[in-house]
Structures are given as C-alpha cells and as structure tokens.
Chains A and B, each alone.
Chain A
Amino acid sequence: MSGFFRRVAALPWRSIAGEAFSGTFLVAQAFCAVHVVDEYVCSVAFTEGPNMLPAINLAGDVVAVDKISARLSKVAPGDVVLMVSPLDPSRPIVKRILGMEGDSVTYLVDPGNSDTSKTVTVPQGHVWVQGDNIYASRDSRLFGAVPYGLITGKVFCRVWPPKGFGPIDSNQSQSQSQ
C-alpha cells in the first residue's frame, strides 16, 4: 500500500498540471479566435422556410455571411441580409433590403388577393426588408421598417448544397416582386 502511494507521489504532478493548463489555454484561445472571426469577419447561417424562394431553397441551405459590410454600413438596396427578427430576438431571419432610410417603397399589401398597393417612406436609421417570395413571407409589410441595428450581416454566397454553390445575386428581387 505504501509502495503505491510512493509511486503516486513520484509522478511528475507539476508538469502534468502545467500541461493540462496549457492545453486548456490553447482550447480557450481557439474558441476566442473562432468567436472573433465569426462575429467580425465571416460566418455561416442555416436557412429554412419559403420566404426567400427562389434565391434560397425551402430548407437545408447553408449561406456564407459577410459581417464586415454590415458593420461599415456598406449594404445597399437589393442585398440579401441576415438580421435579428424584430418579433423574436433569438431568431435570425434572411431578407432582401428594398429601401434604405429616406427611400420611398411601394409594396402590395395583400399580393394574393388584391392589387392595392401602398407607398411608405423609410424613417431615419431604418431599412425596408422583404422576402423574395411575397406570398409567404413575414417582413416589413407586416412589422414595418426595421432599425438598421438589427442587421447582422450580408449574405453573399451559398455554400450548401454543393450543386447550388455560388454567389447570391444582389438585384433580382425588383423584377420578381412585381
């Protein structure tokens, strides 16, 4: 029994602790690096739902999101953006910007049933966002213009499925929303 204790005591505890510490620190560093790249440079997002058809498929698409342009206010009408839903802060949504502050936007109030359209002016610091599939999208037509601060990034590329890999066009919505 005492021999066992002597052997345990003879283990190089100091260097084991040191190694464990440096290992943990390395993992923490990697975690931090991933966080910074994900938050400030580029990230990926999973999308689902019919609201951006046909630019983005019904389910299972993975898109790459550029975080730099949103931070530098370099998004323009026509860009597809990732944003926080104003109705539920923990849910990210993907929409297309149709108007920046000061623009007037004309939209169909109820595209399925009537032709009535409405024109609004986007207030300061807000943007007007809509899904490409106007028949199945909860967007600015429902909740009005949203503050720019909710935009987290610009969607610029489809990553998955591999067949659909490629850039996402910035300006196809105008013709389709008519």
Chain B
Amino acid sequence: MGTYHHLWSIAKKNAMAVVIGITISDRFVTFVSVTGESMHPTFTGTNSVWRGDFVLAERRCLEQYKFSHGDVVLFKCPSNHKELFVKRLIALPGEWIQLPGSLNVTKIPEGHCWVEGDNPARSWDSRAFGPIPLGLVQGRVTHIIWPPSKIGQVERKMPEGRISSD
C-alpha cells in the first residue's frame, strides 16, 4: 500500500512538471533543433536532428505579431502543417519586394509576410511558395544555445535595397 501511494505521488509530480513545461514552451520560450542547409551560415547545415543547432525561440512576439525586418522566425510549412521551418523574415504586410534576379516587384498582401533562407542556393522559401500568412508563424529565434562554439544571439540581417514600403 505504501509503495502504491509513493508511486502515485511520483506520477502526479511528473505529470504536473510536464504540464508546466508544455505551458512554458507554448507561451514563453521553446527549444528547436535546426536542420537543413537553407540557413547556412547562420545555422549549421546538417540533416540529423542531433547534430543540428539547438536554438531558443520566444513566443511572446505572437501576442501582438510585432516583427522587424530581418528577424529569424519559426513557422509551419504552408504545404505541410506538421513541418516547422526556420527562415529570415524579409518583408512585412503592405510592402513591395523585389524578387531576386528580376525587376518585378510584388506587394505583400495584408496579414502576410515574405520569408527567405540565408542560403539562397539551397533554400525552399517564399520565392517558391509566395508570401505566407502571419498566422503560420510560431515564434522568433533569438539565441543559439548549442553547439558551444556558436552560443550567442541571432543577429538581425537585411538584404539592402530590396523592399520599399509604399
């Protein structure tokens, strides 16, 4: 009988810890492992989850949807909702963006944004699937926490002269 109670209290404590962990991860900050070459050199290009870079993504920005140009964001892939992508946010709603390699400009519709990888040669991004709804964005990547050699903040970076706000 004593063992039973002991086990039950351990199970209860663990369940509570999981619930608290999920809440923190949903509302405040979460860890993600970044794989793939699309964001090289900001993040390492590798295909294995365990050898990828672990990054910290904050969720507070989702309350107001306040983003800046050049933020690295985490979003659900528009064609497969189970996949999470990490890309750099280039343009916000209402802005005109010049497509690379051409002189055409496109207007970003209301409530959408334009995302691109840092490694244009190996990235599948808005150049292929167009602007994505801001509702797909799941967080903003702020820090790299693993591997130790790359620990630090993720910088904002913007390609020059490609967007105009009118």
State the A residues within 8 Å of B (CB).
28-29, 31-33, 35-36, 39-40, 73, 83-90, 123-126, 143, 146-151
> Closest CB of chain B to A116's CB: distance in Å?
23
State the CA gap A87–B111 with chains docked (Å): 4
List 28 A-B residue pairs with CB atoms under 8 Å apart, sorted by A's residue number: A29-B16, A31-B23, A32-B16, A32-B20, A32-B22, A33-B19, A35-B23, A39-B26, A73-B81, A86-B112, A86-B133, A87-B110, A87-B111, A88-B110, A88-B111, A89-B65, A89-B111, A89-B133, A89-B134, A90-B65, A124-B79, A126-B78, A126-B79, A147-B79, A147-B81, A147-B133, A148-B81, A149-B81
Question: Chain A CB within 10 Å — which of B27, B65, B111 has the most?
Answer: B111
Question: Chain A CB within 10 Å — which of B16, B81, B109 has the most?
Answer: B81
Q: Is A84 a contact of B133 with CB atoms below 8 Å?
A: yes
Q: Is B81 a contact of A125 with CB atoms below 8 Å?
A: yes
State the CA gap A32–B19 with chains docked (Å): 6
> Closest CB of chain A to B139's CB: distance in Å?
13
Q: B136 at interface (Cβ–Cβ under 8 A)?
A: yes
State the CA gap A124–B81 with chains docked (Å): 10
B22: which A residues are within 8 A, CB to CB?
32, 35-36, 39-40
A85: which B residues are within 8 A, CB to CB?
111, 135
Known: A147-B76, A149-B76. A89 touches B135 (CB 8 A): yes
Count B interface residues, CB 8 Å: 25
Q: Is B20 a contact of A29 with CB atoms below 8 Å?
A: yes
A28: which B residues are within 8 A, CB to CB?
20
A33: which B residues are within 8 A, CB to CB?
19
> Closest CB of chain A to B79's CB: distance in Å?
3
Beyond the given pairs A33-B19, A88-B110, A147-B81, 20 more chain A to chain B contacts, judged by CB atoms under 8 angstroms and listed by A's residue number, are A28-B20, A29-B16, A35-B26, A35-B27, A73-B81, A86-B111, A87-B109, A87-B110, A87-B111, A89-B111, A89-B134, A89-B137, A90-B65, A125-B77, A125-B79, A126-B79, A147-B78, A147-B133, A147-B136, A149-B136
Q: B80 at interface (Cβ–Cβ under 8 A)?
A: yes
A125: which B residues are within 8 A, CB to CB?
77-81
Can you name the residue of chain A whose Cβ is closest to the Cβ of B113?
A89
Q: B72 at interface (Cβ–Cβ under 8 A)?
A: no
State the CA gap A87–B133 with chains docked (Å): 7
> Closest CB of chain B to A101's CB: distance in Å?
8
State the CA gap A80–B22 with chains docked (Å): 27
Q: B91 at interface (Cβ–Cβ under 8 A)?
A: no
> Closest CB of chain B to A145's CB: distance in Å?
10
Q: B132 at interface (Cβ–Cβ under 8 A)?
A: yes
Q: Is A150 a contact of B133 with CB atoms below 8 Å?
A: yes
Can you name the residue of chain B whose Cβ is closest to the Cβ of A87?
B111
Q: Which 3 A-B pairs have the closest CB atoms?
A: A84-B135, A125-B79, A149-B76
A84: which B residues are within 8 A, CB to CB?
133, 135
> Closest CB of chain B to A172's CB: distance in Å?
26
Q: Is A147 a contact of B65 with CB atoms below 8 Å?
A: no
Known: A32-B19, A36-B23, A89-B133. A149 touches B112 (CB 8 A): no
A123: which B residues are within 8 A, CB to CB?
79
B79: which A residues are within 8 A, CB to CB?
123-126, 147
